[in-house]
């Protein structure tokens, strides 16, 4: 069964991976998204993540179901952290175990790309010097737009 959640707690990779693979799995891919110290040439002090928690957990579960259908594994785990994070802290963790490596890499990539398109989570960058701003995000595919409007909203 896939294990997915939104969490306020620091993400620890070894706990996150514990008991994930089955005895028939020969590959396990772990992706960690970490907070970096710069963006668009500005020095970043940290990030604050906010989620529509119930919907975000349902979305993670839905993406996990898609991974099961496409890549044939239910050994999937995903966490997204919320709250204030410092440089180097883990914001996102995705792990997939499969019998062979190709599916594990592909499934991990699929999970992350779908998460970035659809997960109702937002981040505010806190800059060195005290300013902050919500990062411009992605409009989820197939969502509300005025008739005749272009996908990029212009």
Partner 1 sequence: MTIRILFFASYRELLGSGELLLDLPGPGTVSDLLQDLWDRGEPYSALPASPVVAVNREFATLDTLLEEGDEVAFVPPVAGG
Residues that bind partner 1 (CB under 8 A): 33, 49-52, 54-56, 58, 80, 91-92, 112, 115-124, 134-140, 142-146, 149, 153
CB of 29 to partner 1, least distance (A): 16
Residue 73 phi/psi, 5-degree rounding, is -135, 145
d(CA 36, CA 88): 6
Nearer CB in complex with partner 1: 45/99: 45
CB of 72 to partner 1, least distance (A): 24
Residue 118 CB, shortest distance to partner 1, in Å, is 7
| Mutual angle of helices 53-71 and 101-118, in 10-degree steps | 150
What's the CA gap between 121 and 59, in Å, rounded? 11
Q: Which two tokens stand for residue 115?
A: 């998460």
Pick 29 or 119: Cβ nearer partner 1: 119
**Distance (Å, whole) CA 20 – CA 18:** 6
CB-nearer residue toward partner 1: 100 or 139: 139
Q: Where are the alpha helices (DSSP H) in 46-129?
A: 53-71, 101-118
Identity of the residue, 21 or 46, whose beta carbon is nearer to partner 1 in the bound complex: 46
Q: How far is the CB of 16 from partner 1 (least distance, A)?
A: 16
């Amino acid at each position: 069964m896939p294990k997915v959640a939104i969490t306020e707690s620091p993400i620890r990779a070894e706990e996150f991976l514990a008991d994930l693979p089955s005895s028939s799995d020969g590959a396990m891919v772990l992706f960690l998204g970490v907070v970096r110290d710069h963006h668009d040439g500005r020095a970043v002090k940290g990030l604050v993540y906010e989620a529509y928690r119930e919907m975000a957990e349902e979305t993670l579960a839905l993406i996990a179901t898609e991974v099961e259908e496409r890549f044939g594994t239910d050994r999937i785990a995903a966490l997204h952290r919320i709250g204030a994070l410092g440089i180097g802290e883990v914001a996102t963790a995705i792990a997939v175990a499969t019998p062979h490596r190709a599916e594990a890499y592909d499934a991990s990539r699929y999970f992350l790309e779908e998460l970035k398109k659809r997960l109702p989570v937002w981040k505010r960058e806190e800059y060195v010097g005290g300013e902050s701003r919500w990062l411009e995000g992605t409009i989820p595919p197939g969502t509300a737009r005025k008739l005749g409007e272009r996908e990029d909203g212009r």
